[in-house]
Amino acid sequence: MKITRVTAIPMSAPVPPDKRHRTDLGTKVKSDATLIRVETDSGLIGIGAALGSPPIVAAIVAHELAPECEGEDPLFSERIFEKMYNGSRTRPALERGVTQADESRRRGVIMEAIAGVDIAIWDVKAQALGVPLYQALGAVRSSVRGYASGGWAPGDEAEAELGGYAAKGFTAAKMRVVGRDGFSIPNCVRRVRAARRGIGPDVELMIDAHGSLEVATAIRLAKALEEHDIAWFEEPVTPDDHAGQAEVRRATTIPIASGEREFTRFDFVDLLDRRALDIAQPDVARAGGMTEIRRIAALTSAHGVRLAPHAWGSGVLFAASIHVAMAAPNCHILEVSQGHMPMMWELFEEPFDIRPDGTVHAPDRPGLGFTLRADALDKFRYVEGPEYVF
């Protein structure tokens, strides 16, 4: 079996005006994704998806990655990843057993494109093997606890918003540090208190700062929230400041989670060396696809760090994240978005299997296990412009 064609298709899902709201990230006006297709001479077609600006991802795939993948056997997934990562230095890298990454491919949008292609290759590989993707990776479970990820409501409205997540059956829920009423420590404490009233004492509560705080403020906030039994404090500071995150971790009893904006296992090595996190949150579409996220899972497990994959984007990325969760022994929970995300929920013919108790169950069909709707490419036709406005 050989790969005959690799293509990238930009996609968008506009957010209606009545669904928009401003957070620390700005006002979201659309969600973008790039669908990756890997075609083979056997007739099997794999799909993946990439983060990053879709026109840029499409150009990278067309001009750099597709020529490197075409003609390769998708069962040699590790070889193809190394070829995309090392570029022209692939042969000496593999012969010497020493990574020699192309300087442009170690991080950023090219790695996001590599991740999308890698997901599609694993989809083909698992189809060829006749098993669901998580079984091709090495299954450890077929279901995992999900947590509701949202929590933008201002003030006391957080009680009803988070309480609604618990009413759906989720035993864990996450809210944003910066709500629609803006950020201050008193604002956040008030919202967390309201959220705890809404979900009760037995549902886990997590908070996410999106890397928006400086070290001193993050420590002050953590101290103010410790009494509310917070399961983790996510991205308290920018991912560019691993030392600062380690300082926050040392200053609080709340576990620290991060990793959604890190690239490859090498970024996680630094976080682990600095003892900067308790829960690792690699994003399969940014960290390097299925190939690299397996390495990250093994690495974090060796350091006693649990895995909670970041799963925010299109339906393809949520599907890929389900398979990651089922194959990583140190994964204990999976993110389930509560935002307005039609490209997540309306992309496939088959629904995701999320049970009334909040558990997420793996598909039993080969590969990713989901079929694109016939009208998906028309419905989610790419819209030019930024995802956020300020």
Point out the residues that are catalytic: 310
d(CA 40, CA 124): 8
CB 77 within 8 A of CB 125: yes
d(CA 28, CA 354): 26
- C-alpha angle 22-25-29 in degrees, rounded to nearest 5: 60
Signed CA dihedral, 119, 377, 63, 50: sign only = negative
d(CA 192, CA 177): 9
d(CA 22, CA 181): 9
CB 256 within 8 A of CB 236: yes
For 163-192, give the secondary structure using H, E and C. Answer: HHHHHCCCCEEEEECCECCECCHHHHHHHH
**Residue 194, helix vs strand vs coil:** helix
